[in-house]
């Protein structure tokens, strides 16, 4: 086994700044026996299109049955031993920061209001809200009938339901139209495989009905007894079938009302905002379609909204005698159409709002007298208010360089009040009610930062980096006032860059633990997201995926060149598909970064996309490509982080994963770190932390998850010499 010489170089930097020489030498001696795990090699030969790859760590893949077995077989035990050895190594490497991690954790949790509740919203005669109680990890779901002065009714206490489980998640809460029955879905494994249960809200009784292997999100018919839900394929975990259940009956007799045979689609079922329709959605990366059924006719047959077409994405909203449709039909940035409820196929659609080249239409909210249009322009959200009686329109003015604004919970039609959410890198998240007629607003609640937070002590900027092909890439950044711009300033550059997901510049009280210690935090709005419109996404996927990686590297070079930081103090972070980004950029430009965190990283691109039994694979061929096609295989192989690991220097790295992750399987980062450790030529830190009880989102509970954050922050701050060692 190799000695972890890399730790000693780091400690010389940290301890020189923080402790006397004699203590520094003593610490180095205490760490001389620390060695990194070395994974066993068992070569597997993978061949496709005449190309042969040798994968020495393919053996690390376990099935769910193997992971859950009471008595592990030899392969399972070998994998578990390796993951635990990596965890032990990480713990030992970071042991000198253990007190500091506790300090960071307590600091983060200390800013969170222990006893708190959401702003109530009104729906079908009740005010609904969620509250937290001091010291408890999970939410309590409540309501009051008629007025906020009424007695509180606890619908579901997730703290009680979580007892005895290492992980717990309640999702898909759905109250029947007569307000009597609560449907709720629970996951106690963190594989995103839920079980639906039903509770009588009048008596507190939990019904005997239990529906396993479901996806959260369902729909009630107006008879208050018929419940539509979605089940998953037990191997791929893709949503696959829609069922009709009669409350109180044996669910083995449930009727399947829809099955999706194309494994590139996600499906699900929901009620329209009007509650008049039950809607089945079908969605792949570039195709949408819908099936609709009157909620008054629960035993009826679903009807196709419009014929499925290649490369047509749209969404539907019902109001009165119309459906509104947000569609990319002949409109890359989408436009708004409408059609009669009696003639929903595409040839009957009429344009309401035209396409614009410079504005992305993201969605709509419909009210009796108003239409609220959510747009994105120049990487910023816009809320456009249209009075449907007078046709007058206006935009909300948010007054900051970088922010996020989006509509919130608006279940009622007959109101002139729009509820929306606002935040920025300096402004805590706020729930705001806006009178669309009077054009006045009231902040109903702003996130409280316990101990106080003064937005005026921080500065946010919007910058633009020029990518190598001439594209202007926005960067949002924030720092504490007094930050000295220069090469010694530590800067964390975060990005995602896939699926059209835009990483908006929102406030985080957690992030203050970095900002208050001198870090600048920046978000690179790279291609692959939709910050600059739909084309921004199209230019960062499939055979243009490398634009995503190039944009990030070019943003890093820009920040160094403009003296916001230097390579010695620049840090990178991304998770999931953003972890793929991290893997790609450390292969392309490792010299730019002092430290990198790759969270639950999707790094074994070709092998994963070759295996259609792995969750998400078939649904994402239009995002990454299908490697069974040679052109896709060659392109994906050319950037796949695992396949492109080389014998060269890499930055200090912390990799995280979860044993039960259903989105990015644990074996991808496990294989990656094993190969990196075998190939890299530097003495920098390389370590991995596996949550052995959780999946893609990490630990459950509102406090427990921040222990992982404390480890991550300690990693960055330790590299900066900002951790005092006893």
Q: Which residues have a catalytic role annotated?
A: 576, 661, 696
Count of beta carbons in the 10 Å neighbourhood of residue 12? 14
Sheet holding 303-304, edge to edge: 266-271, 277-283, 288-294, 303-304
Task: Please state, in angstroms and rounded to a whole number, the distance separating the CA atoms of residues 246 and 239.
Answer: 21
Q: Kindly state the greatest CA–CA separation across the chain.
A: 83
C-alpha span between 646 and 148 (Å, rounded): 62
Per DSSP, the three-state class of 526 is coil
Residue partners of 559: CB distance under 8 A and separation at least 6:
465, 475, 491, 493, 522, 565, 570
The encoded tokens of residue 67 equal 């992971």
User: For the chain, first and last CA: distance in Å?
Assistant: 29
Q: Order the strands of the 380-387 sheet from edge to edge.
A: 360-366, 370-377, 380-387, 393-395
**Mind giving me the DSSP string for 235-299?**
TT--EEEEEEEETTS-GGGPEEEEE---TT-EEEEEE-TTSSEEEEEEE-SS-EEEEEEETT-TT
**How many of the other CB atoms lie within 10 Å of CB of 664?**
27
Q: What angle do CA 112, 113, 116 make, to 5 degrees?
A: 135
The first and second tokens of residue 56, run together, are 């020495």
| 633 touches 51 (CB < 8 A) | yes
Contact 538, 570 (CB under 8 A): no
Nearest to residue 251, comparing CAs of 303, 198, 176? 198
Contact 282, 267 (CB under 8 A): yes
Residue 325 to residue 331: CA distance in whole angstroms: 13
Find all residues with CB under 8 Å of 671, minimum gap 6, and list them: 55, 57, 58, 60, 604, 642
User: Per this entry, what is the length of the chain?
Assistant: 726
CA dihedral 241, 242, 246, 247 (to 10 degrees): 90
Residues contacting residue 189 through CB under 8 Å, at least 6 positions apart? 167, 660, 695
Classify strands 491-494 and 44-48 as parallel, antiparallel or unpaired.
unpaired
Task: State residue 95 phi and psi, 5-degree precision.
Answer: -60, -35
Three-state DSSP class for residue 550: helix
């Amino acid at each position: 086994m190799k000695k972890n010489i890399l730790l000693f170089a780091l400690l010389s930097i940290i301890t020189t700044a923080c402790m006397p020489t004699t203590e520094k030498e003593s610490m180095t001696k205490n760490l001389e026996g620390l060695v990194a795990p070395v994974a066993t090699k068992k070569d597997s030969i993978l061949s496709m299109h005449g190309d042969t790859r040798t994968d020495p760590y393919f053996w690390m893949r376990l099935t769910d049955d193997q992971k859950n077995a009471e008595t592990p077989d030899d392969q399972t035990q070998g994998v578990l031993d390796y993951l635990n050895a990596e965890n032990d190594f990480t713990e030992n490497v970071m042991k000198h920061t253990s007190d500091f991690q506790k300090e960071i954790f307590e600091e983060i949790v200390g800013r969170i209001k222990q006893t708190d509740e959401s702003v109530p919203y009104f729906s079908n005669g009740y005010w609904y809200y969620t509250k937290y109680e001091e010291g408890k990890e999970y939410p309590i779901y409540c309501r009051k009938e008629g007025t906020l002065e009424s007695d509180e009714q606890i619908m579901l206490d997730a703290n009680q339901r979580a007892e005895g489980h290492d992980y717990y998640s309640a999702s898909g809460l759905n109250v029947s139209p007569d307000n009597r029955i609560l449907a709720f879905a629970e996951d106690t494994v963190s594989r995103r495989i839920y079980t639906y249960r039903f509770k009588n809200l009048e008596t507190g009784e939990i019904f005997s009905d239990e529906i396993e292997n479901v996806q959260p999100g369902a729909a009630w018919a107006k008879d208050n007894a018929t419940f539509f839900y979605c089940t998953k394929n037990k191997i791929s975990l893709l949503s696959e079938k829609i069922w009709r259940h009669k409350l109180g009956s044996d669910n083995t007799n449930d009727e399947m009302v829809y099955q999706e045979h194309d494994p590139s689609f996600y499906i699900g079922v929901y009620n329209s905002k009007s509650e008049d329709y039950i809607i089945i959605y079908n969605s792949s990366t570039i195709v949408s379609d819908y099936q609709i059924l009157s909620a008054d006719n629960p035993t009826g047959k679903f009807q196709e909204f419009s014929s499925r077409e290649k490369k047509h994405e749209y969404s539907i909203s019902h109001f009165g005698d119309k459906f509104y449709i947000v569609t990319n039909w002949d409109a890359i940035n989408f436009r708004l159409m409408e059609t009669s409820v009696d003639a929903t196929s595409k040839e009957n659609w009429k344009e309401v709002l035209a396409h614009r080249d410079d504005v992305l239409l993201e969605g709509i909210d419909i009210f009796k007298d108003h239409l609220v249009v959510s747009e994105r322009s120049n990487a910023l959200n816009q809320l456009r208010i249209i009075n449907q009686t007078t046709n007058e329109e206006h935009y909300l003015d948010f007054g900051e360089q970088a922010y996020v604004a989006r509509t919130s919970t608006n279940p009622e039609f007959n109101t002139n009040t729009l509820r929306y959410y606002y935040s920025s890198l300096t402004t805590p998240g706020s729930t705001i009610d806006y009178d669309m007629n009077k054009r006045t607003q009231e902040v109903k609640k702003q996130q409280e930062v316990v101990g106080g937070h003064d937005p005026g002590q921080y500065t946010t900027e919007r910058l633009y980096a020029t990518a190598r092909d001439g594209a202007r890439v926005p960067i949002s950044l924030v720092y504490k006032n007094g930050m000295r711009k220069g090469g010694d300033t530590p800067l964390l550059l975060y990005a995602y860059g896939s699926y059209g997901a835009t990483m908006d510049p929102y406030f985080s009280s957690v992030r203050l633990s970095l900002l208050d210690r001198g870090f600048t935090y920046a978000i690179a709005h790279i291609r692959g997201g939709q910050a600059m419109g739909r084309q921004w996404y199209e230019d960062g996927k499939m055979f243009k995926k490398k634009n995503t990686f190039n944009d990030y590297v070019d943003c890093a070079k820009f920040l160094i060149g403009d003296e916001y930081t230097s390579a010695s103090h620049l840090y990178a972070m991304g998770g999931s598909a953003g972890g793929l980004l991290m893997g790609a950029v450390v292969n392309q430009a490792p010299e730019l970064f002092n430290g990198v965190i790759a969270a639950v990283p999707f790094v074994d691109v070709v092998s994963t996309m070759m295996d259609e039994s792995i969750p998400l694979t078939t649904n994402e061929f239009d995002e990454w490509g299908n490697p069974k096609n040679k052109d896709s295989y060659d392109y994906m192989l050319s950037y796949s982080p695992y396949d492109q690991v080389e014998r060269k220097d890499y930055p200090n790295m912390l990799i995280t994963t979860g044993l039960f992750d259903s989105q990015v399987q644990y074996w991808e980062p496990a294989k990656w770190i094993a190969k990196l450790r075998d190939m890299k030529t530097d003495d920098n830190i390389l370590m991995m932390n596996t949550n052995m009880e959780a999946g893609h989102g990490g630990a459950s509970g509102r406090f427990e998850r921040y222990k992982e954050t404390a480890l991550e922050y300690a990693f960055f701050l330790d590299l900066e010499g900002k951790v005092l060692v006893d």
